[in-house]
Amino acid sequence: MRLWTFAARNIARNRRRTLLTLGVVVFGFSAIALAGGFMAQSLDGLAESTIRSGMGHLQIAPPGGFEDHGLEPGAGLEGSDRIAETLRREPGVAEVLPRLEFTGLLSDGRRSVPFLGLGVDPAPEAKWMETPGALEAGRWLESRDERAIVLGVGLARTLGAKGGDGLTLLSTGADGTLNAMDAVVTGIVHLPIKELDDRWLATSLGLADELVGASGRVTRLVVVLEKRRGAEAVASRLESRLRAAGFAVEARPWEALAPFYRQVRLLYLGIFGFMGIVLVVVVLLATANTMMMAATERTREIGTLRALGTRPSLVRGLFLREGVLLAIAGSVLGALLSLLVRVILNHSGLMLPPPPGATRAMPLHVQAYFVAYAAGAIAMLVTLTLAAWLPARRASRIPIVEALTHV
User: pLDDT tens for residues 28-55?
Assistant: 899 889 988 888 888 888 888 888 888 8
pTM (predicted TM-score): 0.76
Torsion angle, alpha carbons of 314, 320, 324, 327, to 10: 160
What's the N-to-C CA distance of the chain in angstroms?
31
| Strand duo 178-189 + 148-152: pairing | parallel
pLDDT in tens, 201-253: 999 999 999 998 888 889 999 999 999 888 999 999 999 999 998 888 999 99
Q: Is residue 356's pLDDT more than 60? A: no
Q: What pLDDT score does 407 carry?
A: 53
User: Mean pLDDT for the chain?
Assistant: 85
Which position has the higher pLDDT, 337 or 283? 337
Q: What is the pLDDT of residue 314?
A: 79
Across 311-332, average pLDDT: 84
Q: Judge contact between 336 and 29, C-beta under 8 A.
A: no
Element (H, E) at 2: helix 2-13
For residues 95-111, give the mean pLDDT. 92
Winning range, highest mean pLDDT, from 4-18, 195-209, 268-282, 370-384? 195-209
Supply the pLDDT for residue 172: 85
